[in-house]
């Protein structure tokens, strides 16, 4: 599931348990700055084989923003 992949990537970046993360958690509350968000998104981009446009990074405030962005990109990727 996409949400699990996002939680796993964030927890790997933060070196914490995925259970410590929820969809409503703010990235800055987790200690994830803009560079951290970019790093996480690039890892997910490679893992999910999608191309994330640079402007997508501007709207990342909570964990669910990452999930929503990726869902939209994956939906648009379908033939």
Rounded distance between C-alpha atoms, residue 76 and residue 3, angstroms: 18
CA distances to 14, 24, 47, 74 from 51, in Å: 23, 24, 11, 9
Overall residue count recorded for the chain in this entry: 79
The CATH class of the 2-77 domain is: mainly alpha
Q: What is the pLDDT of residues 44-63, one digit of tens each?
A: 999 999 998 888 888 899 99
Q: Where along the chain do its domains lie?
A: 2-77
pLDDT band at 15, cuts 50/70/90? very high
CA atoms lying within 13 Å on the CB side of residue 48: 27
Q: Which of 15, 17, 40 lies closest to 27, judged by CA?
A: 40
pTM above 0.85, yes or no: yes
The per-residue pLDDT of the chain, averaged, comes to 92
């Amino acid at each position: 599931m996409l949400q699990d992949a996002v939680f796993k990537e964030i927890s790997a970046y933060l070196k914490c348990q995925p259970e410590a993360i929820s969809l409503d958690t703010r990235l800055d509350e987790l200690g994830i700055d803009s560079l951290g968000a970019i790093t996480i998104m690039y890892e997910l981009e490679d893992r999910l084989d999608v191309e994330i446009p640079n402007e997508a990074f501007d709207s990342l405030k909570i964990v669910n923003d990452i999930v929503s962005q990726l869902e939209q990109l994956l939906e648009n990727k379908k033939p």
